[in-house]
Amino acid sequence: MRTKINSEIGKLEGVIIHTPGSEVENMTPENAERALYSDILNLSIASKEYAQLAGVLEKVTRVFKVKDLLTAILKEENVKFNLLKEICAKEGIPGYENELMQNPPGQLTNFLVEGVVLEKNNLTNYLSGERFLMRPLHNLFFTRDSAMGMNDRMLIGKMANPVRERESIIMEAIFNSHPDLETITLNPGRSENGLVNNINSTLEGGDFQVAREDIFVIGTGVRTSTQGIDFIIDSIKQMKTEPHHIIVQELPSTPESFIHLDMVFTFLNSDACMVYEPVIYKMNRLRTIHIKIENRRVTRIEEVANIPAALKNLGMNLEPIKCGGDNDLWIQEREQWHSGANFFAFAPGKIIGYERNSHTVEALNNKGFDVIDAVDVIAGKVALENVKKCVVQIAGSELARGGGGARCMTMPIRRAEVE
């Protein structure tokens, strides 16, 4: 499958996901904050909820799973060694790759995802407060952040927090080495192809959205830095001569529910978007900036009113639908906190989100989106190809507490073009 992402809403043809496993349970109240969680998830409940998301995706597209992809590339000895060497160097255990190399691919995949327990076999390890030599990837089921489709390329995430760096290293190896995937990777963490690595560059997929083939909407805040966006600007200057546009949205640093742009803004259809109104329309201190790039240089950079206004000026007239509904700021805040603006489109006007955000779902229904339960899709009671516009509800009482929604848990790698 050749990767191609020219929109946020085109019919989904390939997606990468990761089912949460024991790495989610390898967490205590003491290390939860370091793992970027505010609470500990109940895996037995979260797994049932996640099965609804995966079940719907398997009905509508080809689904790839991180563990399967990783196990496949670890069968190649050179790929295996180079990947382990980079991971061990990054995590401060250089040389440990030689011991890890002794494990078969399936077992090694489990170690890289679920962690390696620290053996208490010397005084230093005995006195260490750490449980793991190699920590579990608690956030891996939020596959969105570690790589993102940008036209025919995959941008590799440069994570803001060291606890997530291994996710990006793994995804880059998968895209560069797996025989079933064909793409070109761009990595802001490496100096290559004439692009300079800035030590302050960070870039996560939750902040990156493809509005149209020539328009990218990017959030900047605690997870994606301005230097990370400059990397994208430089990449476009190097690759394209025709006009391209970047719309940058500044995000609040608190609360933690604003970590990514897709927590306050997502595309739903060619004529509709989901917005968390207080951030997108009412926080005047948060700037929206339009950058135009053509003939390998920036020809315009200026402040604009907001994302929908900037898109309208570029020929995309989107009606905003409000997270939490129109009337009550308190309800809007509650539903945004539980990823009420975080929808994932698997086709134009066909989206997935949490059923717990009932006021948001009602607002969508009032705009013509049929409300469908995921269990009915999985059971074959509803054929999504026969529905014009819909919101598929998945359970989210536990998953939402992890700090993300349906868009966070999906990494699209190929979409059909939007007419």
Angle in degrees, CA 54, 211, 239, rounded to 5: 105
* DSSP-derived 3-state class of residue 379: coil
Is residue 6 in a domain?
Answer: no
Total domains in the chain come to 1
Is residue 103 in a domain?
Answer: yes
Is residue 100 in a domain?
Answer: yes
Is residue 264 in a domain?
Answer: yes
Per residue in 352-399, pLDDT tens? 999 999 999 999 999 999 999 999 999 999 999 999 999 999 999 899
Is residue 5 in a domain?
Answer: no
Domain that holds residue 320: 12-415
Q: Please state the φ and ψ torsions of residue 194, each to the nearest 5 degrees.
A: 80, 0
Per residue in 42-92, pLDDT tens? 899 999 999 999 999 999 999 999 999 999 999 999 999 999 999 999 999
pLDDT band at 35 (very low <50, low <70, confident <90, very high): low
Domain of residue 387, CATH code? 3.75.10.10
Per residue in 88-144, pLDDT tens? 999 999 999 999 999 999 999 999 999 999 999 999 989 988 889 999 999 999 999
Is residue 1 in a domain?
Answer: no
Q: Identify the CA nearest to 56 among candidates 383, 370, 416, 341.
A: 383
Do the Cβ atoms of 165 and 88 come closer than 8 Å?
A: no
Do the Cβ atoms of 315 and 262 come closer than 8 Å?
A: no
| Separation of alpha carbons 39 and 42, rounded Å | 10
Do the Cβ atoms of 375 and 356 come closer than 8 Å?
A: no
Is residue 59 in a domain?
Answer: yes
Is residue 7 in a domain?
Answer: no
| Separation of alpha carbons 157 and 195, rounded Å | 15
Report CA-CA distances (Å) from 347 to 99, 107, 179, 390. 45, 36, 27, 10
Which parts of 258-357 fold into alpha helices (H)?
277, 307-313, 329-337
Q: Report residue 321 as tokens.
A: 């639908």
